[in-house]
């Protein structure tokens, strides 16, 4: 079958963009950034209210703003951007036309309508039910309908992605196996299908309840299935941003994976086990057996953690091997010192990778441990953890990728490159600090989603320790710094897309050029030490493991001091 379309070869990156796919990627990415902008403005309200000395918004406004902030960031910003990443991984990397572009546009329209409808419902003020919207607390029906439309649109986008893979295979745009990054995107899309279906399964009856057709949705069943949507959508993020890390290692260093087999095996472990982690949210619930909790919360014996630890070695390891091959071979860390730290695409990814592992990974495994969760459940430690995963990890990675896409996809020169260079450091490090002090406050028991930690005027008021107030004040300061970092991102990207110097389009042709294979591996190896090709990375990974082990057992010691519970 021949389809009338054109392929543009980018003169700066050599990537080939099919015209329909390119427009779809632009539309989805731009909408994502708009959601990020809205979510970022809302973050100002959240941060300045939880900063005890400021305590800015009124309670009802605060809960409304917090609901919108969660949904706009965690669902709309992430998933719109991920749809763009999926189209990139299928159409651009495989140099294939996108399957059914009209349906892809319909998917985009559904997602957009759903996102707007949901936001309107929240800002009306009668749907301040938080992102989790636990029944029997009810929102306006359009809150659920918006999410359902969005979910259906995203599901269709996933199938457009799968369809594009089929077209690429049939039209032989590549030979052999798909690239590793596409493989990671397939992982993300498989997880997305599971995730979005779970969302639809539980939100449809809840929507019917909101219009009075269904009498009751069981609260425990709701929690169980909703989390297969709420937590698993963060697993889409993980699979997507790890794929981007591999891509950026390839783009910035020409790095190849240390082993295709190991990295793909790790993605396969994600497909098999990562979803079980929605159990993390149910560890403190009644009515669920211990065996179910232990098996699920540990991703069936921690096989998804194993996969993440593999990526944690393989990605910086691949960078190290590539740098050493270029001659940066002195000592353990010359390869890292000589990395392109002033390139925001690289610095963003590296700061994201380290922060995701040390802050997000370790804290996530700790609080996902069945008994240790008693110390953490619903404290502000939880948002401390997930800001380390979805903000430091995913959001910063997506930001870093945008800096690469501005000249390549949007064909504009970046305005204010100095600001762009600074941005990953400001945003990344202030978020590191933000997460740390938030987890500190959570360790002292401070609640999440809580307007007034002072319990003003309450006869039974609890007085939090001074350290908790100090930590929450620091959360406020770090949050403001991070929001400034986010504002720079919006300024640079939006400014570049509208006002940046236009760059040349490159050669446009009616036919694709097949993807070449990677160059064969050189057998001889003249770098590394003790039989290790990337000794520096191994040392860094060992530091990570020691931190992990220590922190894990410190928390068991803390748990052992609590009241007896059985």
- Please report, as residue ranges, which positions from 367 to 426 form the binding site for other proteins (by CB under 8 A): 369-371, 373-379
Residue located via tokens 């005027």? 457
Binds other proteins by CB under 8 A, chosen from 109, 290, 505, 539: 290
Number of residues lying near other proteins (CB under 8 A): 115
Provide the minimum distance between the beta carbon of 313 and other proteins in the complex, in angstroms, as a whole number.
Answer: 5
Binds other proteins by CB under 8 A, chosen from 40, 101, 153, 179: 179
Select 317 or 500, whichever has its Cβ closest to other proteins. Answer: 317
Provide the minimum distance between the beta carbon of 187 and other proteins in the complex, in angstroms, as a whole number.
Answer: 14
Provide the minimum distance between the beta carbon of 519 and other proteins in the complex, in angstroms, as a whole number.
Answer: 6
Provide the minimum distance between the beta carbon of 165 and other proteins in the complex, in angstroms, as a whole number.
Answer: 13
Provide the minimum distance between the beta carbon of 521 and other proteins in the complex, in angstroms, as a whole number.
Answer: 6
Contact by Cβ (8 Å): 219, 134: yes
> Does 136 sit behind a cis peptide bond, omega within 30 degrees of 0 on the bond before it?
yes
| Those residues with Cβ within 8 angstroms of residue 103's Cβ, 6 or more apart along the chain or in another chain | 156, 160
Q: Is 160 in the site for other proteins (CB under 8 A)?
A: no
Provide the minimum distance between the beta carbon of 349 and other proteins in the complex, in angstroms, as a whole number.
Answer: 13
Binds other proteins by CB under 8 A, chosen from 109, 301, 550, 554: 301
Range 29-48, binding other proteins (CB under 8 A): none
Output DSSP code: residue 6.
-
Select 487 or 559, whichever has its Cβ closest to other proteins. Answer: 559
Report the C-alpha gap between 386 and 306 in whole angstroms. Answer: 19
3-class DSSP state for residue 415?
A: coil
Range 492-551, binding other proteins (CB under 8 A): 515-521, 531-535, 538, 541, 545, 548-549
Provide the minimum distance between the beta carbon of 260 and other proteins in the complex, in angstroms, as a whole number.
Answer: 4
Q: Closest Cα to residue 39, out of 80, 83, 70, 63?
A: 70
* Torsion angle of C-alpha atoms 21, 27, 30, 32, degrees rounded to 10: -90
Provide the minimum distance between the beta carbon of 457 and other proteins in the complex, in angstroms, as a whole number.
Answer: 8
Provide the minimum distance between the beta carbon of 258 and other proteins in the complex, in angstroms, as a whole number.
Answer: 6
| H or E segment to which residue 75 belongs | none
Q: Is 306 in the site for other proteins (CB under 8 A)?
A: yes
Q: Is 161 in the site for other proteins (CB under 8 A)?
A: no
Q: Is 348 in the site for other proteins (CB under 8 A)?
A: no
Q: Is 466 in the site for other proteins (CB under 8 A)?
A: no
Output DSSP code: residue 74.
I
CB atoms within 10 A of CB 190: 18
Range 197-256, binding other proteins (CB under 8 A): 218-220, 223, 246-247, 249-251, 254-256
Separation of first and last alpha carbons in the chain: 66
* Torsion angle of C-alpha atoms 224, 278, 34, 52, degrees rounded to 10: 90
> In 235-352, which ranges are E strands?
none
Select 442 or 476, whichever has its Cβ closest to other proteins. Answer: 442
Select 413 or 452, whichever has its Cβ closest to other proteins. Answer: 452
DSSP 165-180: HHHHHHTTSS-SSPPH
Provide the minimum distance between the beta carbon of 106 and other proteins in the complex, in angstroms, as a whole number.
Answer: 29
Q: Is 444 in the site for other proteins (CB under 8 A)?
A: yes
Provide the minimum distance between the beta carbon of 385 and other proteins in the complex, in angstroms, as a whole number.
Answer: 14
Structure tokens at 264: 């793909």
Q: Is 484 in the site for other proteins (CB under 8 A)?
A: no
CA angle 181, 521, 534 (to 5 degrees): 75
Q: Is 350 in the site for other proteins (CB under 8 A)?
A: no
| φ, ψ of residue 77 in degrees (nearest 5) | -60, -50
CB atoms within 10 A of CB 561: 6
Output DSSP code: residue 451.
S
Select 198 or 308, whichever has its Cβ closest to other proteins. Answer: 308
Select 202 or 431, whichever has its Cβ closest to other proteins. Answer: 202
Q: Is 272 in the site for other proteins (CB under 8 A)?
A: no
Residue located via tokens 């990570």? 544
CA angle 494, 344, 332 (to 5 degrees): 170
Q: Is 439 in the site for other proteins (CB under 8 A)?
A: no
3-class DSSP state for residue 508?
A: strand
Structure tokens at 92: 């651009």
Contact by Cβ (8 Å): 76, 151: no
Binds other proteins by CB under 8 A, chosen from 46, 139, 181, 497: 181
Q: Is 289 in the site for other proteins (CB under 8 A)?
A: yes
Select 360 or 485, whichever has its Cβ closest to other proteins. Answer: 360
Q: Closest Cα to residue 436, out of 378, 383, 359?
A: 359
Range 91-150, binding other proteins (CB under 8 A): 93, 128, 130, 132, 134, 136-137
């Amino acid at each position: 079958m021949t389809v009338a379309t054109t392929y543009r070869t980018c003169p700066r990156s050599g990537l080939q963009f099919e015209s329909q796919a390119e427009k779809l990627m632009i539309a989805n990415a731009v909408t994502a950034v708009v959601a990020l902008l809205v979510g970022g403005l809302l973050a100002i309200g959240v941060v300045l209210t939880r900063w005890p000395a400021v305590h800015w918004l009124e309670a009802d406004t605060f809960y409304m703003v917090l609901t919108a902030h969660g949904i706009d960031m965690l669902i709309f910003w992430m998933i719109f951007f991920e749809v763009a990443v999926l189209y990139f991984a299928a159409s651009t990397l495989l140099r294939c036309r996108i399957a059914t572009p009209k349906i892809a546009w319909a998917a985009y329209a559904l997602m957009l309508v759903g996102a707007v409808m949901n936001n309107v419902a929240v800002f009306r003020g009668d749907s301040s039910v938080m992102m989790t919207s636990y029944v029997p607390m009810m929102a306006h029906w359009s809150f659920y309908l918006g999410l359902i439309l969005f979910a259906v649109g995203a599901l269709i986008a996933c199938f457009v992605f799968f369809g594009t893979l089929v077209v690429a295979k049939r039209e032989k745009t590549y030979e052999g196996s798909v690239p590793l990054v596409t493989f990671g995107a397939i992982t993300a899309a498989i997880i997305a299908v599971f995730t979005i279906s779970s969302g639809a399964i539980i939100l449809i009856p809840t929507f019917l309840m909101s219009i009075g057709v269904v009498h009751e949705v069981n609260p425990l069943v709701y929690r169980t299935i909703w989390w297969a949507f709420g937590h698993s959508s963060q697993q889409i993020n993980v699979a997507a941003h790890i794929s981007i890390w591999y891509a950026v290692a390839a783009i910035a260093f020409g790095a190849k994976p240390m082993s295709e087999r190991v990295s793909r095996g790790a993605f396969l472990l994600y497909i098999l086990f990562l979803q079980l982690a929605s159990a993390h949210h149910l560890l403190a619930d009644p009515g669920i057996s211990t065996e179910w909790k232990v098996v699920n919360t540990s991703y069936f014996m921690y096989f998804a953690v194993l996969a993440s630890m593999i990526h944690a070695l393989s990605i910086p390891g691949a960078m190290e091997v590539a740098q050493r091959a270029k001659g940066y071979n002195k000592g353990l860390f010359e390869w890292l010192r000589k990395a392109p730290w002033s390139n925001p695409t690289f610095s963003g990814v590296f700061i994201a990778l380290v922060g995701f592992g040390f802050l997000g990974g370790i804290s996530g495994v700790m609080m996902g441990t069945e008994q240790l969760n008693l110390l953490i459940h619903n404290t502000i430690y939880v948002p401390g953890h997930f800001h380390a995963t979805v903000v430091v990890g995913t959001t910063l990675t997506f930001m870093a990728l945008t800096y690469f896409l501005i000249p390549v996809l949007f064909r504009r020169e970046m305005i204010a490159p100095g600001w762009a260079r600074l941005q990953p450091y400001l945003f990344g490090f202030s978020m590191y600090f933000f997460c740390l002090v938030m987890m500190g406050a959570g360790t002292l028991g401070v609640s999440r989603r809580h307007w007034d930690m002072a319990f003003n005027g309450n006869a039974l008021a609890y007085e939090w320790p001074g350290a908790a107030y100090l930590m929450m004040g620091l959360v406020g300061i770090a949050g403001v710094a991070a929001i400034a970092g986010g504002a720079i991102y919006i300024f640079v990207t939006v400014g570049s897309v509208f006002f940046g110097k236009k760059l040349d389009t490159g050669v446009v042709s009616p036919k694709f050029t097949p993807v070449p294979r990677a160059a064969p591996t050189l057998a001889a190896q003249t770098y590394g030490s003790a039989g290790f090709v990337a000794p520096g990375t191994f040392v860094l990974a060992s530091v990570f493991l020691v931190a992990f082990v220590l922190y894990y057992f410190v928390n068991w010691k803390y748990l052992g001091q609590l009241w007896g519970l059985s």
